[in-house]
A and B are shown apart, each in its own frame.
Chain A
């Protein structure tokens, strides 16, 4: 089994979502991937819905520095302080939690703790979590800054990688979506078009 990989630390949390800062610049978990963070006995699961790399200080904007450099990498080599002046952050929408070893596909009683470690889930955990598609409903209704279609499709694509029979997983997910989105055919079509194996 793959080691659980620590990717960052919670710096902002609400019931609905949490924002984590990455330990390494640009080491952001991919869009739609499943991450988790712990709060004592509670384990919160989130789907990465947004990520950003910005300046540490809001007043200092990065400026173009590459005129004299041959490669992009060269910029960072000449100004190693840059790595310390920038930060990568990602937001994850909370889609479920685990309490007393049981998995629940709905919102936890309390939000994540600040400075809680954030881990990327292993394929085994992803498979366990995606046994139920109830989390899709949370994402669809979450009103996030990225479009729902994009996020749902990305999440399903990410999750399908944990499965050997990706197609079967995607068909099952598609059927669930067809029911959830029975009144919104255009949205359904958009998602299906993005997850087509």
Chain B
């Protein structure tokens, strides 16, 4: 199919449901793919939209009952496009020309639909460029639309202003996409990143599904990335140059951290209540003291804790205490270190090494983020009060996000707070998850830009599409994505929902494209 080819004409539709397009004889229904972009030449305006459904039609229902003999090429040729025809469903989403506003201010959201029998054509490269812009200081090339070479660019400046989500079933390319987004943010300097890297994939190289080595942030942008590790040994084995080994003191753990671990540690509600009481009584050393208690007789005066509750709590805390990176007292302040790097504009990747256990991940991510959040809040308030420079925009990447943001805990964890309101304090989240239905719908509705790979569970799809106006249509697009390298992007950072074939990542050339020209010679060895 050639660019800008005429596909057919608009025959019916509505603004809510999109328009129905009857295909010309020359346009084969089998060439129409959901997710592809088309333009509609209305009488006064040009519309831009996406194919969301493809169907077959007949003029006479008898044709379906007594089909003509299409083994005869003559009959087949006569019937195709006349008695039988293809239709596509297009949801126009932007006006890209024709009126004064679009001329001056670029594409505008649609408020009307094209008139009857308007001509529908495949969108040309120019049209797509007009909509998604070209790569510049703000926009990052994330992939190409289906069957096109044009670049789809994400406006990262807008992107980082809100919390965002990368969703998709396991093995659909979430990690690759996240890595791309992180590289984008680094390259464009849109924000400084803190990545809780559960599977140690973002800091240093890892292997992809085909067993190919894939480079990561520190290797591409060594001066702008610091790798922190919880598991020094694992990092050393993988030959990662780490900048800091994270140790967490018992005294740094607060009752809120334990509250979040209620499910993973199998604690009762009462046990969590007890934590607060104990912390109030014992002060900073509460964790050590609680584990050391020999029974309820050993409890200080005035604490009313049931024996089974205490046992339940002690069992849980012992699990926490066994985590190897926990020490009675940490000599260095990890939070301060991280903040120091972040303030200088260095991105921090925290590797978990072997401790991919969800308890460790939740504990560490929550503990660190809470403190960083508090600092950011202070800094921001100071900036507003004194009129000084605001702290850098910070994006915190978390994986397995439904563990932090499920309806039960999202109101309690710091991540829930950030997702809801921290936009104002220059902190946003990049949520990576394979089970979006587990995430609180309140948080989900606040996610600015959603990038989803293939999802097939009905609930996950529904959850990702909450609050989207043309939900039904995107649903059909989403469930038809290929399982690799394809993603549907919609929300704040793109003017219109778009299916992209993700930009290539992993070859020497792909690395080269990420690095600005002048820096190239410094890291020559990278692709040799």
Residues of A that sit less than 8 Å from B by CB: 167, 170-171, 174-175, 177-179, 182-185, 188-189, 192, 196-197
Q: Is the CB of B78 within 8 A of A174?
A: yes
Q: Who on chain B is nearest to A177 by CB?
A: B78
Distance in angstroms between the alpha carbons of A133 and B473 in the assembled complex: 40
A185 touches B74 (CB 8 A): no
Bound form: Cα–Cα A188–B79 in Å: 10
* CA distance in complex: A197, B73 (Å): 10
Contact residues of B between 59 and 81, Cβ < 8 Å to A: 59-60, 62-63, 66, 68, 72, 74-75, 77-79, 81
- A175 CA / B75 CA spacing, docked (Å): 9
Q: How close is B260's CB to chain A, nearest CB, in angstroms?
A: 66
Given A185-B63, A189-B68, check contact A197 B82 (CB 8 Å). no
Closest CB of chain A to B70's CB: distance in Å? 11
CA distance A28 to B472 in the complex (A): 65
Q: Which residues from chain B contact A192 at a C-beta distance below 8 Å?
A: 68, 74-75, 78
- Bound complex: CA A171 to CA B76 (Å): 10
User: What residues on B are CB-neighbors of A179 within 8 Å?
Assistant: 59, 82
CA distance A6 to B81 in the complex (A): 41
Q: How far is the CA of A179 from the CA of B68 in the complex (A)?
A: 15
Query: How far, in Å, is B327 (CB) from chain A's closest CB?
Result: 82
Assess the A183–B77 pair: CB atoms within 8 A.
Answer: no
Q: Are A174 and B74 in contact, with the CB atoms below 8 A?
A: yes
The yes or no answer to B109 lying at the interface (CB within 8 A) is: no
Q: Which residue from A167, A170, A171, A178 sits with its C-beta under 8 Å from B83? A: A178
**Other CB < 8 Å A-B pairs besides A182-B82, A183-B59, A185-B83, 17 of them?**
A171-B74, A171-B77, A174-B75, A175-B78, A175-B81, A178-B78, A178-B83, A179-B59, A182-B60, A184-B60, A185-B60, A185-B63, A185-B66, A192-B74, A196-B72, A196-B75, A197-B74
Give the chain A neighbours of B60 by CB distance below 8 A. Answer: 182-185
Q: Is the interface of B mostly helix, strand, loop or mixed?
A: loop
Question: What bracket does the count of chain B residues touching chain A fall in?
Answer: 10 to 19
The answer on a CB contact under 8 Å between A175 and B82 is yes
Pick the contact of B82 from A170, A178, A183, A189 — CB < 8 Å? A178
Q: Which of A177, A178, A188, A189 has the most CB of B within 10 A?
A: A178
**Bound CA–CA A178/B66 (angstroms):** 15
> Inside 8 A of B62's CB, which chain A residues have their CB?
185
B 296-345 contacts with A by CB, 8 A? none
Q: Which residues of B contact A189 (CB under 8 A)?
A: 68
**Cβ–Cβ contact A170 & B74, under 8 A:** yes
Q: Cβ of B78 and Cβ of A171 under 8 Å apart? A: yes
Residue of B nearest to A178 (CB): B82
C-alpha spacing A184/B63, complex, angstroms: 10
Q: How far is the CA of A197 from the CA of B63 in the complex (A)?
A: 22
Q: Which residues of B contact A (CB under 8 A)?
A: 25, 59-60, 62-63, 66, 68, 72, 74-75, 77-79, 81-83
B82 to chain A, nearest CB (A): 4
**Min CB distance, A197 to chain B, in Å?**
6
Among B72, B81, B83, residue most surrounded by chain A Cβ atoms (within 10 Å): B83
Which A residues touch B74, using CB under 8 A?
A: 167, 170-171, 174, 192, 196-197
The answer to whether B83 touches A182 (Cβ under 8 A) is: yes
User: Of all chain B residues, which has the CB nearest A186?
Assistant: B62
Set of chain A residues within 8 Å of B59, measured between Cβ atoms: 178-179, 182-183
Report Cα–Cα, A196/B70, bound state, in Å. Answer: 12
- Ordered by A's residue number, 16 sampled pairs between the chains whose C-beta atoms are within 8 Å are A174-B75, A174-B77, A174-B78, A175-B25, A175-B77, A175-B78, A175-B81, A178-B78, A182-B82, A182-B83, A183-B60, A185-B60, A185-B62, A192-B78, A196-B74, A196-B75
Residues of chain A contacted by B83 (CB below 8 angstroms): 178, 182, 185, 188
Cα(A170)–Cα(B72), bound, Å:
14
CA distance A178 to B386 in the complex (A): 78
Q: Give Cα distance in the complex from A185 to B60, angstroms.
A: 7
Q: Which chain A residues border B75 with CB–CB below 8 Å? A: 174, 192, 196
State in angstroms the CA–CA spacing of A186 and B78 once bound together.
15
Closest residue of chain A to B72 (Cβ to Cβ) is A196
Instruction: Give the residue name and chain of the B residue nearest to A197 (CB).
Output: B74
Tell me how far the C-beta of A64 lies from the nearest C-beta in chain B, rounded to whole angstroms.
44
**Complex CA distance for A182 and B25, rounded to whole angstroms:** 16
B63 cross-chain contacts in A, Cβ below 8 A:
185
Closest B-chain residue to A193, C-beta based? B75
The smallest beta-carbon distance between A154 and chain B, in angstroms, is 17
The smallest C-beta distance from B261 to any residue of chain A, in angstroms, reads 68
> How far apart sit A185 and B79, CA to CA, in the bound complex (Å)?
11
A184: chain B residues at CB < 8 Å are: 60
Contacts of B81 in A (CB 8 A): 175
Task: Name the distance in Å between A141's Cβ and chain B's nearest Cβ.
Answer: 18
Query: How far in angstroms is the closest Cβ of chain A from B170?
Result: 50
Distance in Å: Cβ of B30 to nearest Cβ of chain A: 20
* Leading 5 A-B pairs by shortest Cβ distance: A174-B78, A178-B82, A182-B59, A185-B62, A178-B83
Nearest opposing residue in chain B for A188, CB measure: B83
Instruction: Report A192 CB to chain B, min CB distance, Å.
Output: 6
Cα A170 to Cα B73 in complex, Å, equals 12
Which residues of chain B are within 8 angstroms of A167 by Cβ–Cβ distance? Answer: 74
Cα of A118 to Cα of B424 in the assembled complex, Å:
90
The winner among B74, B75, B78, B79 for most chain A CB atoms within 10 A is B78
Alpha-carbon distance between A14 and B63 when the two chains are bound, in angstroms: 39
Distance of A184 Cα from B25 Cα, bound (Å):
21
B484 to chain A, nearest CB (A): 42
In the bound assembly, the distance between CA atoms of A170 and B79 in angstroms comes to 13
Report A-chain residues with C-beta under 8 Å of the C-beta of B82: 175, 178-179, 182
Give complex CA distance A175, B85 in Å: 12
The distance in angstroms between the C-alpha atoms of A175 and B59, with both chains bound, is 13
C-alpha gap A184/B66 in the complex (Å): 12
| Chain A residue with Cβ nearest B78 | A174
Query: Given the complex of chains A and B, what is the CA–CA distance between A192 and B62 in angstroms?
Result: 16
CA distance A189 to B60 in the complex (A): 13
Q: Kindly provide the distance from the CB of A191 to the nearest chain B CB, expressed in whole angstroms.
A: 10
- Min Cβ gap A133→B in Å is 12
